[in-house]
Amino acid sequence: MTQTIVSGLEPPYYTAVFTSVRPDHPEGYGETLDRMKELVQDVPGFLGYESARTPGGVGITVAYFRDLEALNAWRDHAEHRAAKKHGREHWYERYCVHIGRVERSYGFERDDRDD
């Protein structure tokens, strides 16, 4: 699970929202996840990601990309494709991917400094 949120991105940009159901600690998953995190960093136009998982196995990962070319480069990356295939065969009970174009983005951060 990520401990920070992605902010300060100038729209438009694209998101890939990956929602999944899988067991909490499937064999080999952690190593593959670490490798995917490493690989996606090298995709030109990758902007960051956020993820969370419930103890019951529902997870959501949102990845941010500058444009569709960057998102498609990640989708088509050979090692990523192999990991997705392995995940369907061994880890995931089900998943869904939503691709969206972000037109507007804003946020909030509490300022707890003493004045």
pLDDT bracket for residue 2 (50, 70, 90): low
pTM higher than 0.85: yes
Q: Which of 3, 1, 16, 4 is nearest to 66 (CA)?
A: 16
DSSP H/E element including 70:
helix 68-76
**At residue 4, does pLDDT exceed 90?**
no
pLDDT bracket for residue 1 (50, 70, 90): low
Q: Which two tokens stand for residue 66?
A: 């500058």
pLDDT in tens, 10-62: 999 999 999 999 987 788 999 999 999 999 999 999 999 999 999 888 999 99
Q: What is the pLDDT of residue 58?
A: 94
Percent of the chain with pLDDT over 70: 95
Reduced to 3 states (helix: H, G, I; strand: E, B; else coil), residue 39 is helix
CA–CA gap between residue 106 and residue 7 (Å, rounded): 8
Q: What is the pLDDT of residue 111?
A: 82
Q: Which two tokens stand for residue 85?
A: 């295939």
**Do 3 and 41 meet the contact criterion of CB atoms below 8 Å apart?**
no
Q: What is the pLDDT of residue 114?
A: 58
Q: What is the pLDDT of residue 57?
A: 82
In DSSP terms, 102 is beta-bridged to: 13
